[in-house]
Amino acid sequence: MMRSFNSILNEHFYFSFKRLIIILAAILFSLSFPCNVIAICQSVIHDYYAGNPFSKPGIRGDTTNIPSLVKPEINGTLRLDAKVGKGIGPEIKYMPEWEAFGWFGASDHVEWDVEVKKKGAYEVYLEWSVDDDEAGKTFVFEAGGKELTGAVEKTGSWEQFKEAKIGTVNLSAGRQKMIFKSGSEFKEGALLDLRALRLVPVQ
C-alpha cells in the first residue's frame, strides 16, 4: 500500500489526539472518585501502547502473520488468508491493521501450503484493494498445475476491499503449494493489497 509520509503522520496525530481527549474526559468524569483517576489513565495508556499507534482503532498491533497449513472448512472451502501465507520478496510486507499483504512489488509473491481433501473443480475468489491509479497490472495465481491470470481491477482506494471471482481450477487431493504473484514487470507503484483467496468447491 503506497501512502505518503504526511498521511501517516496525520493519521498518527489524529488517533493520539483522540486518545488524549479520552484521558481528559476520564479525569473529568472521575473527579468525584479521585482514587479511580490513576487506574483509568493507566488502563487507557496501556491499551494504546499494547497496539500499533499507526493502526486503525480496535485492531491490535500484535496481530501477526504466521504461515501455516491451510485446511478445508466444513463445506470444503479453502481460505488462503494473508495472515497464514508466506510473503517472499524484497518489498512485500504483511500489514496487521488490514490483515493483508501490501507493498506488493513485481518481484514479490505469496505462498500457501494447502491440504486438499477432495479433488475436483474449485471456483477461485480474490479479495483485494488497490488505488485507482495503480489498478490494471496483471496477476498470476498458480494452483493445481494451472495458472489463472487477470488484471487488478479498481476498488476505489487502498482502504476499500473487494471480492470477485477470477476463475476455476481443478485440484487433486493431497498437500500442495499455491502461489500468487505479479504477471508483469513494473518498477514503480504496487500490484495490490492482498487479503485472501477463497477456493470454493463446485457442486
d(CA 77, CA 200): 5
Q: Rg (Cα) of the chain, in Å, rounded?
A: 21
Q: CB of 143 within 8 A of CB of 199? A: yes
Q: What is the pLDDT of residues 16-32, one digit of tens each?
A: 555 555 555 555 554 54
Q: What is the pLDDT of residues 118-135, one digit of tens each?
A: 999 999 999 999 999 999
143: confidence class by pLDDT, cuts 50, 70, 90:
very high
Identify residue 127 by its one-letter amino acid code.
E
**Which cell numbers in the block locate residue 34?**
479521585
Average pLDDT over residues 43-63: 38
Pairwise pLDDT comparison (28 vs 79), residue with the higher score: 79
- Is 70 exceeded by the pLDDT of residue 56? no
Spacing of C-alpha 20 from chain mean position: 29
> What is the overall mean pLDDT for the chain?
81
- Is 90 exceeded by the pLDDT of residue 138? yes
Q: 119: closest CA among 33, 11, 201, 12?
A: 201
